[in-house]
A = this chain, B = another copy of it.
Amino acid sequence: MLADQTILRIPGPTPIPPSVERAMNIPMVGHRSSETSDLIRAIQPKLQPIFGTKQDVVILAGSGTAALEAAVVNAVRPLDEVLVIVTGAFGARFVDICEAYGIRVHQLQVEWGKAVDPKEVTHFLEQHKEISTVFATYCETSTGVLNPIDELAKGIRSVSDALFIVDGVSCVGGVPAKLDDWGIDILVTGSQKALMLPAGLAFVAMSERAFERIQANPNRGFYFDLIKYRTNLEKNTTPFTPALSLLFGLNQALDLLEKEGLENVYRRHSLLMEMTRAAFKAHHIPLLTSDQDASPTVTAIRPADFDAEEFRKVLKNDFRMSIAGGQGHLKGEIFRIGHMGYCSPADVIQTIGLVEIALMKTGKQIELGKGVAAAQQIYLERGTK
């Protein structure tokens, strides 16, 4: 087997573009140097459109979970009552973080694989006026569901003064996000998904309303204190040592997104989703989510007549291709294919071609090439440069 080749198609970490690898591979500079200030200054205007905000976007050295926790400890106080919309494993993580801080959590549980209905949320808030904050997941990585954040934001604002905090980890950069226009209060993400970087950077964008609530909170912890980051950012610096090589990589990744054009980036992700879904539909292999609820960044497949784990093993053994399994109660029941960030129609064509081989080797009899043909057809109908 060809040494050194790996094909990474999990829903993050995602592959790194070569020019981003090169940008990270630089002689280290001082973290209080003018080079670092210049870098931080250069990044902000390129980052803001991705979050759909005119506000500064805070960058912490940390994983996506660090961003989630930063949102919680800054915006919410112990004993506050909050609503967490749980559509999968990452909704549940918000619950765990809140409970670790003694926050009183109401949960709106949604069947895994389905998006939340905004009406249920507004209905719940009308019944629970004491709720100060609503948490939702934009793309639920564990199921491949994209929740309707714009409608949720609108619905919440119409019935409540609660802040709306959104986990955008596995989609921001791959789908539109408009913090200012939609009325999101805090939107967080990590670097290792649609932003085409290794893990290690956590991003937090916040509304003026959120900023005011955070300022009024006397206990914001130390490392996660967002006021420190915002104040430092005004001087193009950071309160603690920044993950410098990742920032150099981020600057280049943002240039790539800008070069492609954000609208084209979003269109590409939709195309990759449609190609992937069409391929499995062609083989009558069930998808976990409906077309309506599907995320452009990750697709979950729920096989009816073959073993998901065996199938993943074949892909790994034959092609060193990694796709994800299920989480929680879907472990062993589904597999998930990431198609976000540094991923093209050519990558999806390859993925489907290898998937078909692996299906045959797993004992699932299919017509070879039929899924590829369905994906090719979508490309021919919808593909743009």
Contact = CB atoms under 8 A, between A and B. Distances in A.
B2 A344 contact: yes
Nearest to A1: B385
A319 interface: yes
A259 B3 contact: yes
A352 B367 CA distance: 17
Interface in A4-29: 4-5, 7, 17-20, 25
A285 B321 CA distance: 31
A4 B25 contact: no
Contacts of A385: 1, 317-318
Interface in A218-257: 256-257
B319 A345 contact: yes
A207 to B, nearest CB: 31
A97 B259 CA distance: 46
A1 B360 CA distance: 32
Given A25-B25, A346-B354, A370-B369, A4 B256 contact: yes
A18 B1 contact: no
A143 to B, nearest CB: 25
A9 to B, nearest CB: 11
Interface stretch (A38-46, A133-141, A177-185, A372-380): A372-380
A342 interface: yes
Contacts of A345: 318-319
A62 interface: no
A179 B215 CA distance: 77
Contacts of A344: 1-2, 5, 319
B346 A319 contact: yes
Interface in A338-374: 342-347, 349-350, 352-354, 356-357, 360-361, 367-374
Given A346-B353, A357-B379, 15 more contacts: A2-B260, A2-B268, A2-B342, A4-B17, A4-B19, A4-B20, A4-B342, A318-B383, A319-B345, A350-B350, A350-B353, A353-B372, A357-B383, A360-B380, A368-B372
